[in-house]
Amino acid sequence: MKTLVTASWVIAHDGRSHVEIPDGAVLTDGDTIVDVGARAELDHHQADERIDLGDAVITPGLIDLDALTDIDHLILDSWASPDLSSGFTWSTEYFAAPRAVFDDAQRRTVREYALTQLALHGVTSYMPIASEVHSDWAETYEDSVAMAEVSAKLGLRAFLGPSFRSGVNVIGAGGRRTVAFDEEAGRRGLADALRFLDHSTRLADPLVTGVLLPCRIETLTPGLLRDVAEAAHERGVLVRLHALQGMSERDFIQHTYRRTPLQLIAESGLLSDRLIVPHGVVLDVHPEVLGNDTGDVAVLAGAGVSIVHCPLTNARYAHNLHTFGGYRAQGVNLCLGTDSFPPDLIRGIDVGTQVAKIQAGDLGRSHLAGYFEALWTGGATALHRPDLGRLAAGATADLAAFALDDFCMGVTEDPLRTLVLNGSARDAVLTMVAGRVVMRDGSIPGVDLPALRRAGQQLFDVMRAAYPERDHRHRTADELFPPVFPRR
C-alpha cells in the first residue's frame, strides 16, 4: 500500500546530511520510503492513502535508547535532600526479604501506559529502562515477553531484553551506601536474558529485536560482565550497560576492584561498537574526576561505543556531559534517551542545547544540528540500523510529525528551531512505524487513554505508598515526599 504524507516541512536526508524541504512530501510503499521531496514533485504519484498534516514538520521517527517503560519515579526523587534521598534506596533489612510491589497484570499495565506515552511523543524505536526499586530483584523473561506483546500491539519498534543484576544498592542502618550481592540471582538473570534472545528469534517479528540489558555497572560482578561480553560476542547482539553515570558508582568500583568503571568495562571484553552506554558522564574530563582529558573519551571513540545522552534527566539530577561538543569532536557516537518522564526528546534537546551554550559561553555553540543528528542517525548507528533515522528513498518508513500551527507555538522561523524553542514532543501529530500509522492527532487505535491514565495514577499511588517499607528509617511517604508548600 502506497501512502503520501505531506506537510509544510520535511526533514529529508540527501546522502550526506539532513536537509529541510519546504512544502514537502514522503511517499511510502509498505514499510519502505519510496521517495522524499517537494510536494509538487511527488504529487503525481498514485497513492492508496494521502495524509496531509498541514502546517507541520515531518521528521525521521524519534529513537529513544533509554526509554522509560515504567511509572516514573523522578517526580518523587529528583527534589530530595541527601537525608531524604537515603530513603529511596533499599535498606539492608529489605534486601533480606524483598517483594514485588506490582503483580504481573499490574506490570503489564505499567508497560502499556509507558509505551503509549512513547507513541504519543513521536518515538518509533526504543530500548526500555524501568526502575528495579519496586521489583523483588530485576526483570524476568516473562516481563520481556509481555512487553514484546504490548509493543507489537501498539506497533512500535522495540529492542528488548530483561534487565538483570548481581547486586543492588542498599543503605545500612547507619545510612552508609553500599552494594549487596546475590550472585546466583545475577546468573539466573543472564539465563533469562539469553532465553529471551531465543524467544525474539522465534518471533521473527521485524519490530522486536532481542538485546542484552544488564543493570548499572556497580550492581554487576566482574564475572557477570565477562559472561555478558562472551554471550554478546557469540550471539552478535547489542549490549546496553548503564555506566560512567555517577561519582558513587566510580567510588564503589575503585574501592572494590581497584579499577575505574571504564577499565572494568575494557577488561570484561565489552568495549566494541555493539556497546551502548547511558550516560557516559563520569570520565576523566568530568570536573569531579580530573577535569582534563587524559584519554578516556578517545578510548570510547576508538572502540566505537555509543553514548546515550539524556540531557533532560541529567539536568533534573544535576549532572552534565562534559561536553556534548567535545565528545563529538573526538568521534564518539552520541545518541539520545529520555530515561524518565516525560519521554520528550524535543524538551531534552532544548535543555541540552541551552546547557551547551552555558558551558561554551557562546550562543553559536548550541550544537542544535548535532543534537538532531544524535537523535536520528546517532541512534541508528548505535542500533546498527542504517535504514533508520533518515527520510530517504530505500530507508525504513519510520516517521514522526509535529504540528507548528498551534497559536501557542508562536511564529515559525526554522521549523526545528521553532519546535525546540517553542514546542515539545507533545506537539506530535503522527507516529508511523514501518509504514503503519501508530498514532494520529493524539489517538492510538485500541487504546482508551482516559482509562489508561486512571490506571497509571492508581499504580503510581501504589508505588509511592511502598517506599516506607524500603526506607532504612521507615519514614512515611508524606515525610519522604513533602509537598512544595504545606498542605491544609
Walk me through the domains of the chain, giving residue ranges and CATH numbers. Answer: 2-59+394-440 (2.30.40.10), 62-382 (3.20.20.140)
Extract the C-alpha cell encoding 459: 499504580
pLDDT tens-place string over residues 59-99: 999 999 999 999 989 999 999 888 899 999 999 999 999 99
Cα–Cα distance for residue pair 156/400, rounded to 1 Å: 12
Q: For residues 459-464, give the mean pLDDT.
A: 97
Q: What local confidence, expressed as pLDDT, does residue 160 receive? A: 98
355, pLDDT greater than 90: yes
pLDDT tens-place string over residues 172-189: 877 889 999 999 999 999
3-state secondary structure 58-73: EEECEEEEEEECCCCC
Among 308, 356, 315, 341, residue whose Cα is nearest residue 424 = 341
Grid-cell match 518509533, residue found = 124
* Cell triple for 368: 542544535
Report residue 9: phi and psi, to 5°. Answer: -145, 145
User: Whole-angstrom Cα distance, residue 114 to residue 130?
Assistant: 10
The strand pairing partners of 2, in sequence order, are 29
Q: What does the alpha-carbon distance between residue 338 and residue 327 come to, in Å, rounded to a whole number? A: 19
> CB under 8 Å to 222, separation ≥6 — which residues?
257, 264, 267, 268
Residue range 318-331, pLDDT digits in tens: 999 999 999 999 99
DSSP 8-class letter at 260 = -
pLDDT (0 to 100) of residue 328: 97
In this prediction, what percent of the chain has a pLDDT beyond 90? 94
Query: Rounded to an integer, what distance in angstroms lies between the CA atom of residue 229 and that of residue 358?
Result: 38
pLDDT above 70 as % of the chain: 100
DSSP 363-386: GGG--HHHHHHIIIIIHHHHTT-T
**Strand 167-171 relative to strand 177-181: parallel, antiparallel, unpaired?**
antiparallel
User: In this predicted structure, what is the pLDDT of residue 14?
Assistant: 96
Alpha carbon of 11 to those of 24, 471, 481: distances in Å?
9, 49, 43
How do the residues of the chain divide into helix, strand and coil, expressed in percent and rounded to 5?
A: 40, 25, 35
Distance (Å, rounded) from C-alpha 431 to C-alpha 173? Answer: 49
Count CB-CB contacts under 10 A for residue 393: 15
The arithmetic mean of pLDDT across residues 218-225, rounded, is 98
The type of residue at 185 is A
pLDDT digits (tens, 9 = 90+) for 145-176: 999 999 999 999 999 999 999 999 999 877 88
Q: For cell 521528521, what's the residue?
A: 59
Q: What pLDDT is attached to residue 364?
A: 87
Q: Is residue 133 over pLDDT 90?
A: no
Is pLDDT of 425 > 90? yes
Mean pLDDT along residues 125-129:
98
Chain centroid to CA 467: how far?
25
> pTM score, two decimals?
0.97
Check if the beta carbon of residue 119 is closer than 8 Å to that of residue 153.
no
- pLDDT tens-digit profile of 230-242? 999 999 999 999 9
> Residue 463: CA atoms inside 13 Å, Cβ hemisphere, count?
24
